Amino acid sequence: MTEPASDALVLFGATGDLAYKKIFPALYDMLGRGKLNVPVIGVAFEPWDVEKLKARAHEGIAKAVGTVDEERFGKLAGLLRYVSGDYRDQGTFSKLKAAMGTASRPLHYLAVPPSMFETVIQGLDQCGCASGARLMIEKPFGHDLGSARWLNRVLHLVFEEKSIFRIDHYVGKEAIQNLLYYRFANSYLEPIWNRTHVESVQITMAEDFGVQGRGRFYDEVGAIRDVVQNHLLNVLVFLAMEPPSGRIDEDLIEEKVKVLKAIRTLSPDDLVRGQFEGYQKEAGVQQGSTVETFAALRLFVDSWRWEGVPFYIRAGKCLPLRATELIVRLRRPPLNVFGEPASGPSNYLRFRINPQMSIALGSRRKAPGEDLIGEQVELSALDDGTGDLEPYDRLIGDALEGDGALFTRQDASEIAWRIFDPALAANTPVSTYACGSWGPEAAMTNFQPPQGWVNPTV
C-alpha cells in the first residue's frame, strides 16, 4: 500500500551552506514543477527571524540559477517558517511543534553534522514530533563500520527503517540515473554484460583542484571516505547489479544489496594511496598527515556474472582535469583476422558523468588506404543537460513521497564499510604526487587495468 506523502518539511541546519547552495535552490525548482506545496520549517541556532531566512534563501537561489522568478519565489517564501534555538534545548523543539501546526506526517531533514544526529533525534522524540514522521540524513554515514552500526542503533531507537532516508546526492544525478536506465532499457547489452565478454571496468573521478579551504574536514576523511566508499561504490553497484525482478522502484535496493554482499573485502594489496605536493601546507591540515588525496583501488565482485573481472576505481584531487567517467572494456576478438598487434585497443563502452554527460562506443574500423589496417573511432551521444533534474530536487521529492529506492538502507550502509574497513585500518603507504599528474607515478606503475588506464580528456 502506498504511504501518504509528508505534509511538512522540517529543515535542520537551515542557515548552513548546504541549505544555501543546494536545498533552497532545489525547493525553488520543485515549486516551479508543482512538486512542493507543504510548509518548510527551518530550524537553526542563529537568532534570525523568517524574513532573514527568506533573504538568505533568495540569495542562494540567485547564485544557483541566475535570474529569480519573483512570483515563484514569493510562493516559496509563503511556505517558509523559522525556529531559532539550540538543539540541546528542549524548548527549541517545543517551538518547532507549535510552528508545525496541524502537520502530522513531517519529513525531518538533518542537514547538520553527524555529531548532532542523536541530539536532534532525541529532541524530536521527546516533543512528539517523531511520531508518524520520516527522517532524511546526509552523509557521511559513520566513519567506519563500528560508527555506522552505532548510528543505525541511534536512529532505530525512534524511527522505523522504512521511515529513514540516508541520502547520497550522487545517486540523484541525472547521469547516474541515465546509467541505470541505459543498463536495463537496451536489450543488446545483456549478452555481453558479463565475465565472458568484459575484460575490466574502470571508474575515474578526477578533480583539478585541491581541498579549497576545507582542509580540516578533508584531513578527517580523505579521498576514500569522501567519494569512493559512497559515490563511486554506488556507480560500481549500478554497473554490476542484476535486473530487478519487478519494478525498478520496488526492487532496486534488494539488487544493490546483493552486489554489495558479493564485493570482496578490499585488500591492502589492492589499494594505492597518494597525497598531492603541498597538501600539508593547506589551512587546517595537520603536519605529517597521512590522509590520502588520491586513491586507486581494485575490487572484485564474487558473483556468477562478474567472477574474475577486476573493477578499478581511481579518484583524486589536483589531477590534470575535472571529469568523471566509466570505461567498460570488452575482450578482444578470439581470432586476429587482420594480423594487427595483439596489444592493440579493443572495444569499450564509455559513460561520461561530468562535466558533460555522454555515452560512447569505442569501435574499430578500416583506416583509409590500400591495406586492411584498422583505426579506433568512437560513436558517441552527447547530452546538453537541458531539462536535467538536480540531485536534491529529485531526492527531496522522493523522500516527501516516501519513495526510498534511491536511498541507502541500513544493511547497505554497513556492508559498504565492511568492504573498506580492513584496508583503511592497515595504514597503507601514502606516496606524494605532483599536482597536474595522474597520481603517484611509481606506485601506479604496476597498478592498472588490462590495457592500462584510460585518462579522461576535455
pLDDT of residue 278: 94
pLDDT tens sequence across 101-159: 999 999 999 999 888 999 999 999 999 999 999 999 987 788 899 999 999 999 999 99
**Between 372 and 278, residue with greater pLDDT:** 278
Of 108, 143, 197, 231, the active-site residue reads 231
Rounded distance, CA 249 to CA 260, Å?
Answer: 18
pLDDT tens sequence across 425-452: 998 999 999 999 999 999 999 999 999 9
Q: Residue 94 — very low, low, confident or very high, per pLDDT cuts 50/70/90?
A: very high
Rounded distance, CA 456 to CA 280, Å?
Answer: 27
> Is pLDDT of 212 > 70?
yes
Q: Residue 249 — very low, low, confident or very high, per pLDDT cuts 50/70/90?
A: low
> Is pLDDT of 343 > 80?
no
C-alpha distances (whole Å) from 455 to each of 203, 255, 350, 357 are 10, 30, 12, 16
- 197 a catalytic residue: no
**Between 409 and 343, residue with greater pLDDT:** 409
- Amino acid letter, 166: R
Strands 348-354 and 358-366, how do they pair?
A: antiparallel
pLDDT tens sequence across 282-332: 999 999 999 999 999 999 999 999 999 999 999 999 999 999 999 999 998
C-alpha distances (whole Å) from 210 to each of 25, 207, 218, 276, 359 are 26, 8, 10, 8, 28
Query: What is this structure's pTM?
Result: 0.91
Strands 198-206 and 80-84, how do they pair?
A: unpaired
